[in-house]
Amino acid sequence: MVTLKLSMTATGKLLTQDQAPALAKVMGDIIGELIQKGESLLDERLRPRPAGVYLSVGQAQRGHASTGHFRRSVNSRRSQRNGIIQSNVVYGPWLEGDSARNATSRFKGYQSFRKVGQELEKGAGVVITRHANRFIRSLG
């Protein structure tokens, strides 16, 4: 299984008990937006192309295009503080480069999930700031 995990934790005495559910909702909104953005980036990165991307050597012939099964197998789950984007295909770890077989072959993987995770880390501050500012304005 190939997985990208997102999580948030709020600590400290920032809010009263009455305001805590509103903060939990904002955290859920942030996780939801990051999950949606991550799925979009993965969909773009894993888009089937002709000429053998995500195909075996036997299938990678002129005129054959990728079926896109790996891309279609990407799914996500989220709660208010956690989100997971994953793919359960058997060859997912090999495509990602996390399999033991990658160490013994020239193919080192596409690292799609890792690269998308890095892009999400870079852009998370903007998403968090936008939601946090809206939340702070709502507090008055």
Average pLDDT over every residue of 48-57? 53
Helix (H, G, I), strand (E, B) or coil at 65: strand
Domain boundaries, the chain: 2-8+18-139
- Summarize the confidence of residues 21-42 as an average pLDDT: 91
pLDDT above 60 (res 62): no
- Order of all β-strands in the sheet with 82-87: 2-7, 82-87, 74-78
In sequence order, the 6+-apart residues with CB closer than 8 A to the CB of 21 are none
- Give the Cα separation of 106 and 103 in Å (integer): 8
State the CB neighbour count (10 A cutoff) for residue 109: 18
Whether 84 has a pLDDT exceeding 60, the answer reads: yes
pLDDT at 6: 81
User: What average pLDDT does range 88-98 have in this prediction?
Assistant: 90
Q: What residues form DSSP beta bridges with 3?
A: 86
In tens, the pLDDT along 129-140 reads 999 899 888 887
- Global pTM exceeds 0.85: no
User: For 93-109, what is the mean pLDDT?
Assistant: 89
What pLDDT score does 17 carry?
Answer: 76
